[in-house]
Structure 1
Amino acid sequence: MAHEGILLGMGNPLLDISAVVDEDFLQKYDIKLNNAILAEDKHLPMYDEMSSKYTVEYIAGGATQNSIKVAQWMLQIPGATSYMGCIGKDKYGEEMKKNSKHAGVNVHYYEDDAAPTGTCAVCVVGGERSLIANLSAANCYKSEHLKRPENWALGISLTNLFFRHYMVFPFQMKFLIMIIYTVEKAKYYYIAGFFLTVSPDSIQLVAEHAAANNKVFTMNLSAPFICEFFKEALEKVLPFMDFVFGNETEARTFAKVHGWETDSVEEIALKICQWPKASEAHKRITVITQGADPVVVAEDGKVKTFPVILLPKEKLVDTNGAGDAFVGGFLSQLVQEKPIEDCVKAGCYASNVIIQRSGCTYPEKPNFA
């Protein structure tokens, strides 16, 4: 029961529209592989074109939601994870709720009356992917939703209610299962940098709560454009980050934006660790993935590297969600207070599973030890 609601994620819930496309399609919409961007007006026609021209799959996604779902899958502990974000009141929103609940995640969506549920075009060529996100309702999240008592402070133990009342109120048990896992209930938090474009005040509320209560706050650099165009917002929350995730491209972009004259991922990871912290309760650890190259982990002024699980090219299906899955696997062990080595191992395992499937999907149960 110690893991009830232990991990909370906040982010942009998006319905992934995933398809294998061709080079002409990439050129038509000025899309680069291995990139993640927000949709501009020129991209809006592509969503319908993908649906009509290619075989598409619809998968509930969004970076943070992917990571939380993978963490829940790896944990196999009912009620361990929760997630907040904004969706529309439409069929895609209903699909999102159904998919997330099936994954075992306690979702607390804010539902916007006007905007449609956000979508993300996942364009795959040769196993590599590019993400173009049309946030729509995801862009409408408000910190007022986060501050509601049922989302922030009202925590009730389902276990106590279950054993206390089961013999008395057997027909009410379906009701009691709808327990709310809240910000205060969680001990670990994860937010992708993409959410800085939507609700930086919500991020700050959670970050400050974590620092004040000796909890663990983690974030992801998420994309080069976050490091470039949301530099101030990222710098404001960075002192609260106990774990910083990213990939080598994002790390180098971060370094460039801050005038660090180095391309060394190891050196950049160390410099990020040295950024001032709001709380000294936890040291900062930087974790940088590099595709097929070793994972870089910086802490205490030292760098360690960990090999990934190499995959024959013929088994590669889709790299979409690989980074999200790594974080989800990593967090699944972190919340159990496992050593960093085990966290990285779990992240590599989860990532390896996901890239052998279409989208950020996984088998019924993990095979990780």
Structure 2
Amino acid sequence: MGGVVSSEDESRKRDEEDESEDEDSIDEDSDDSGDSSEDDSDEEESEDDSESLLDGELVEEVDSNTDTSFFGESDTSDSSDDDSEDEEEEVRQEVIITENMMVGFGLPLLEIKAKVGAGYIKRFELTAGSRSVAGEKQISLYKELCGWFSTEFLPGGGALNVIRVAQWMLPLPKATSIVGAIGTDENGKRVSEACTAAGIVPMFYEQETDITGCVAKLSVDAGPAGSTVTQITHLSAGNAYSKQRHLDLEQNWDRVKEAEYFFIPGLFLTVCPETTLAVGEMSSEKGKTFALTLGNPQLCRLYKDTQLAVLRYVDFLFSNAETALSFAQENDFETTDLAEIARKMCLLPKVNSNKPRVVVITQGVGPTVVARGYDEVHEFEVDEIENKDGPAGLGDFFIGGFLGQLVQGHGLERCVEGGHFAVQELLQHGNKLSGECPFE
């Protein structure tokens, strides 16, 4: 749950309000009240929410209080106070989930999972348990895996991970689409089929010059200690995306414009910044929602001007702590305090000033920092689960879980809970995301 970081004036005001309350009352901003409030809220939703499927659109009715908070809905209301709850007038807000509601852009990869022997790892000069980028000696590995071993295919790459988690949380197939470049090869067909199986509509630029990008995850049995996973990535065709040859085609641009939410990872700025700027400009002009990640510290150094140009259109900005600190240093924020960095990111120029920017900074096992505007900063504790393997994609899963709730009209607290839930899913059960999403 979230602890509030506020100004001195807000603190004094809250202290005065606390003094006027009865000694037995529960402070709705405290961490202790959060769990019970969440449980009661979930019970109400299960009793009151109704759904109907009409002409390919799923209509969900979501309860919210008239008096909204920083979180935008009734997620933070103190539901333990029955008397005050009875006095509040509730309204029903309709959220219409449609096909193609969110579009992601990125570097699509075919994720290939296979169990191999330790000798196979050594043959390709890989270090067991490492994560690396393929060189010339490893290129043939991907074709061999598909022919020599029993393999499992999943949509892969940062953007596809985000979209796959979001789609898993959404109650309607084909609510998401993905844009990027693949090759006209067998692995290109496989990644498209894997997207379709996950309920994602592939909108790929298929080109013949480069082969489809792949990420191999090689599992080696380590006896009683479990298994080690060695990951090796080859971006290849992912770097070949062309706005002129794909997005500028009328049928593709028209489909993108139909969406209400857009997600682009920072790495895509190195591939096709003009696409990112075009989508951001369109989104701001039409009052839609545009989400971006900062990527990594190196991007903050080498693509600073491009980042700042795109940030003018960004409604939701995601970063981990290391990258946020690098961004702050490159832009002379003169602070290492993540709450203050989030505030300053919110205050960077924004074209659509009617929609305050939200900045989300994750810290691994540390609290997740969420800011909207200069004075609204909240911290959310993370439930820690030991996982010695430290799987890749934790940040992607958090963003996917967050956006999966945002698209459904939930407030920010619920969105963060969705992100944390998706991370726990990855830690406990891996990234397959089989079956229906159990998040409630």
Q: Which range, TM-score by smaller chain?
A: 0.7 to 0.9
Shift of residue 264 of structure 1?
A: 2.0
Q: Which residue of 1 aligns with 2:162?
A: 67
Query: Which AA in structure 2 matches 1:141?
Result: Y
Query: Which AA in structure 2 matches 1:107?
Result: P
Q: Which residue of 1 aligns with 2:194?
A: 99
Work out whether residues 180 and 241 of structure 2, in 8 Å CA contact, stay in contact via their aligned partners in 1.
yes
Q: Deviations over 1:219-277 (max 9, x none)?
A: 01122222122222111101110000011111111112223333222221111111110
Shift of residue 293 of structure 1?
A: 1.2
For residues 186 and 103 of structure 2, the distance between their equivalents in structure 1, rounded to whole angstroms, comes to 25
CA 1:263–1:320: 2 relative to 1, 3 Å = same
1:80-99 alignment, distance < 5 Å: 80-99=175-194
Q: Which residue of 1 aligns with 2:427?
A: 355
Shift of residue 101 of structure 1?
A: 0.2
Confirm whether residue 336 of structure 1 aligns to residue 391 of structure 2.
Answer: no
For residues 151 and 390 of structure 2, the distance between their equivalents in structure 1, rounded to whole angstroms, comes to 13
Shift of residue 128 of structure 1?
A: 10
For residues 127 and 184 of structure 2, the distance between their equivalents in structure 1, rounded to whole angstroms, comes to 31
Query: Which AA in structure 2 matches 1:186?
Result: A
Confirm whether residue 225 of structure 1 aligns to residue 303 of structure 2.
Answer: no
1:1-369 alignment, distance < 5 Å: 1=57, 2-4=96-98, 5-17=100-112, 39=133, 43-46=135-138, 48=140, 58-120=153-215, 133-144=233-244, 145-153=246-254, 182-301=255-374, 302-313=376-387, 317-358=389-430, 360-369=431-440
Shift of residue 194 of structure 1?
A: 0.9
TM (norm. structure 1) is: 0.80
Aligned length: 330
**What percentage of residue pairs aligned between the two structures are identical?**
35
Work out whether residues 127 and 230 of structure 2, in 8 Å CA contact, stay in contact via their aligned partners in 1.
no
Gapped regions of structure 2 (runs ≥ 5): 1-56, 58-95, 221-225
For residues 207 and 353 of structure 1, the distance between their equivalents in structure 2, rounded to whole angstroms, comes to 31
Shift of residue 15 of structure 1?
A: 2.2
CA 1:262–1:133: 2 relative to 1, 3 Å = farther
For residues 128 and 255 of structure 1, the distance between their equivalents in structure 2, rounded to whole angstroms, comes to 36
SS in structure 2 at match of 1:196: helix
Work out whether residues 128 and 320 of structure 1, in 8 Å CA contact, stay in contact via their aligned partners in 2.
no
Q: Deviations over 1:33-92 (max 9, x none)?
A: 7x8x8x48xx3424556978x998653211111111110001131221111111001111
CA 1:31–1:151: 2 relative to 1, 3 Å = farther
CA 1:124–1:254: 2 relative to 1, 3 Å = farther
For residues 61 and 305 of structure 1, the distance between their equivalents in structure 2, rounded to whole angstroms, comes to 30
Work out whether residues 6 and 185 of structure 1, in 8 Å CA contact, stay in contact via their aligned partners in 2.
yes
Gapped regions of structure 1 (runs ≥ 5): 154-181
SS in structure 1 at match of 2:277: helix
For residues 136 and 390 of structure 2, the distance between their equivalents in structure 1, rounded to whole angstroms, comes to 23
CA 1:260–1:312: 2 relative to 1, 3 Å = same
Query: Which AA in structure 2 matches 1:14?
Result: L
For residues 202 and 151 of structure 2, the distance between their equivalents in structure 1, rounded to whole angstroms, comes to 25
SS in structure 1 at match of 2:281: helix
For residues 130 and 188 of structure 1, the distance between their equivalents in structure 2, rounded to whole angstroms, comes to 34
Work out whether residues 72 and 104 of structure 1, in 8 Å CA contact, stay in contact via their aligned partners in 2.
yes
SS in structure 2 at match of 1:356: helix
SS in structure 1 at match of 2:361: strand
CA 1:311–1:71: 2 relative to 1, 3 Å = same
Q: Which range is displaced more, 299-308 or 317-326?
A: 317-326
Q: Deviations over 1:272-309 (max 9, x none)?
A: 11111011131101001111111110112221111123
Q: Which has the larger radius of gyration?
A: 2
CA 1:130–1:202: 2 relative to 1, 3 Å = farther
CA 1:57–1:250: 2 relative to 1, 3 Å = farther
For residues 44 and 217 of structure 1, the distance between their equivalents in structure 2, rounded to whole angstroms, comes to 37
Query: Which AA in structure 2 matches 1:137?
Result: A
Q: Deviations over 1:3-39 (max 9, x none)?
A: 22211111110123568999x98xx779997x8x8x4
Work out whether residues 88 and 111 of structure 1, in 8 Å CA contact, stay in contact via their aligned partners in 2.
yes
For residues 243 and 412 of structure 2, the distance between their equivalents in structure 1, rounded to whole angstroms, comes to 32
